[in-house]
């Protein structure tokens, strides 16, 4: 039986992850975290735990740090939870302020400072995984290596990864790092299928041949990198969101998913996620919602991935990219 790349490293993570970006209220740093914000976050965590999710994805910028702070409040009230879960966070994005624009920062100084701040907000001694949040054009791999080595030696981070990076960017970083990167987080869903190189079909139709390039899916499997999908539910496009202004292929795909869900006695969310999880790269979807009912609707995703046939997978794929035949 194929297992997730994280499991090969000794990280026993669930196939689904709860994304914690909605926690903490608004993105205005001056708005306080309300009692309602804390209650909503706790209910989301409990809903996730109830369907077997043990991994939670953060970033230092989510709601200006209030997401980590809110989650830290949950852990403070339930300290036994820390050793039962896997906490992942990200750093590297610096939001716009009064004097400087939004930018990226993979400097050693910023990485070390950002991790210390995240640990303080979360109220924990270590992160299981730290990701660099999107590529930084000014990155110096040797400086990142110094930061990672310092964090690992201090016991503050166990594993490292990246987000939104292509093969060349990963290789460039990896050339200086002492440990192999464990994770790459990308936008992947039936609404964003670029990761599958859909140009294969276009090129075949035009008779111009196929240019595979450097496939991120193949590379990740060869290098034992855990692929995580952000936005896997495509903001509800295929699971109940109004579609009046959506293109025909989206509307047809949503109808197809609804039909499949009824036939299989499951939810549209489970079908949408199951399609991603069917891929042999063992993709790990990150559910970015704090809605309890929507979290619960994802419970059957892994089972549906196992039940989904090749024909069903390709039917959904071709419908999503607007090529049903």
Secondary structure tally for the chain: helices H, strands E: 13, 10
Q: Please classify residue 153 by burial: count the beta carbons closer than 10 Å to its beta carbon, then call 0-12 exposed, 13-18 middle and 19+ buried.
A: exposed
Beta-carbon count within 10 A of 84 CB: 9
Dihedral (Cα; 192, 283, 295, 49), 10-degree rounding: -160
Rounded CA-CA distance 59/30 in Å is 19
Rounded CA-CA distance 123/148 in Å is 20
Q: What are phi and psi of 47, to 5 degrees?
A: -65, -40
- List, in sequence order, the alpha helices (H) in the chain: 5-8, 35-50, 66-77, 108-122, 141-153, 167-174, 199-206, 216-222, 248-263, 268-277, 292-296, 301-307, 310-320
Dihedral (Cα; 205, 210, 216, 222), 10-degree rounding: 130
Q: Which one of the listed residues 62, 126, 159, 314 is annotated catalytic? A: 62
94 Cβ contact partners less than 8 Å away, ≥ 6 residues apart: 100, 102, 103, 104, 105, 110
Q: Is 62 a catalytic residue?
A: yes
Q: Are 217 and 196 in contact (CB under 8 A)?
A: yes
Query: What's the sign of the alpha-carbon dihedral 72, 39, 269, 15?
Result: positive
Q: Are 97 and 64 in contact (CB under 8 A)?
A: no
Rounded CA-CA distance 79/274 in Å is 33
Enzyme catalytic residues:
62
């Amino acid at each position: 039986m194929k297992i997730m790349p994280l499991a090969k490293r000794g990280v026993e993570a669930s196939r689904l992850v709860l994304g914690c970006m909605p926690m903490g209220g608004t993105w205005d740093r001056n708005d306080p975290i309300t009692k309602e914000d804390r209650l909503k976050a706790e209910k989301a965590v409990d809903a996730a735990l109830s369907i077997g999710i043990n991994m939670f994805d953060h970033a230092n910028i989510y709601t200006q740090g209030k997401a980590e702070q809110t989650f830290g409040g949950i852990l403070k009230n339930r300290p036994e939870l820390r050793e039962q879960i896997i906490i992942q966070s990200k750093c590297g994005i610096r939001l716009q302020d009064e004097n400087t624009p939004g930018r990226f920062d993979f400097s050693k100084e910023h990485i070390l400072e950002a991790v210390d701040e995240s640990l303080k907000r979360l109220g924990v001694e270590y992160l299981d995984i730290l990701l660099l949040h999107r590529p930084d054009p000014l990155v110096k791999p040797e400086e990142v290596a110094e930061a990672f080595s310092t964090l690992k030696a201090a016991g503050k981070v166990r594993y490292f990864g990246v987000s939104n990076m292509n093969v060349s960017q990963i290789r460039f970083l990896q050339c200086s790092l002492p440990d192999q990167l464990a994770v790459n987080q990308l936008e992947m869903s039936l609404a964003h299928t670029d990761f599958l190189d859909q140009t294969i079909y276009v090129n075949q139709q035009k008779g111009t041949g196929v240019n595979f390039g450097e496939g991120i899916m193949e590379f990740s499997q060869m290098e034992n990198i855990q692929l995580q999908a952000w936005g896997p539910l495509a903001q509800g496009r295929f699971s109940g969101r109004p579609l009046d202004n959506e293109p025909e292929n989206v509307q047809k795909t949503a109808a197809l998913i609804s039909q499949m869900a009824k036939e299989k006695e499951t939810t549209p969310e489970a079908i949408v996620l199951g399609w991603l999880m069917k891929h042999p790269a063992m993709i790990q979807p990150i559910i970015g919602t704090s809605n309890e009912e929507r979290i619960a609707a994802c419970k059957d995703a892994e089972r549906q991935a196992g039940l989904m046939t090749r024909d069903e997978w390709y039917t959904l794929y071709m419908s999503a990219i607007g090529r049903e035949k």
